[in-house]
Chain A
Amino acid sequence: NAGVTQTPKFQVLKTGQSMTLQCAQDMNHNSMYWYRQDPGMGLRLIYYSASEGTTDKGEVPNGYNVSRLNKREFSLRLESAAPSQTSVYFCASSAGEAWNEKLFFGSGTQLSVL
């Protein structure tokens, strides 16, 4: 019963390097999300995908790109990492239907940009 799987769990980058965070869900969910968690700021939405084939910006999209590869997978790319992107990143998914609505989260990726 995997749920939402994120890779990698930890990553250290140098300023200017690029990387892609991978996320996959096995619950046949329509909607997928990328959040970042910073101390004292709660969770902030970076990008989301309401359904396969669509993506939209969230609160803090600058410096990130996303790809909804198929219904299962939603990746987050940092093209040129900056120290301000040091954070814990969470992928989440939901069915997207009101009465069944809730978010399922992955276990997170701890990213440090030096």
Chain B
Amino acid sequence: AQSVAQPEDQVNVAEGNPLTVKCTYSVSGNPYLFWYVQYPNRGLQFLLKYITGDNLVKGSYGFEAEFNKSQTSFHLKKPSALVSDSALYFCAVRPRTSGTYKYIFGTGTRLKVLA
């Protein structure tokens, strides 16, 4: 079965420190990979995506993600965390199969950045 795993329910990091939120996937082929962020009482917002090309993808608010094909991972990173980065982060995958429109989401990782 196709799946996306976010192994950490919560990640705590001190403001100014680098952060990593982990994501691995089990989806055949070379799927499209995404990160979304959800602030309290809001819908999800797009952060970044990997379609093809450079394994390091840059996105909104200083976030970036590293694609590793051999490990089927797509970890979200930021060099210096801000308190305002505290939110719920979702990894998502969309298979490249023609006619497939279904996204598979991970269960989410809550990021807390401590002042």
Contact = CB atoms under 8 A, between A and B. Distances in A.
Q: Do A and B come from one complex?
A: yes
Interface residues of B, number: 24
B101 interface: yes
A3 to B, nearest CB: 9
Q: Is the interface of B mostly helix, strand, loop or mixed?
A: loop
Nearest to A105: B43
Interface string A32-58: 010100001111110010100000001
Interface size on A, as a range, is 20 to 34
A50 B107 contact: no
A45 B102 contact: yes
A75 interface: no
A29 B90 CA distance: 22
A94 B101 CA distance: 9
A48 B44 contact: no
B105 A43 contact: yes
Contacts of A99: 51
B108 A106 contact: no
B107 A40 contact: yes
B107 A41 contact: yes
A114 B41 CA distance: 21
Contacts of A105: 36, 43-45
Nearest to A107: B43
Contact of B51 (A4, A33, A98, A106): A98
A58 to B, nearest CB: 7
Given A44-B105, A102-B49, A103-B36, 5 more contacts: A40-B107, A98-B32, A98-B51, A101-B32, A103-B44
25 contacts: A4-B43, A42-B105, A42-B107, A43-B44, A48-B102, A50-B101, A90-B43, A92-B44, A96-B101, A98-B32, A98-B51, A98-B96, A101-B32, A101-B94, A102-B34, A102-B49, A103-B36, A103-B44, A103-B46, A103-B92, A105-B36, A105-B44, A105-B45, A107-B41, A108-B42
Instruction: Give 4 nearest A-B pairs by CB, closest first.
Output: A105-B43, A42-B107, A43-B105, A105-B44
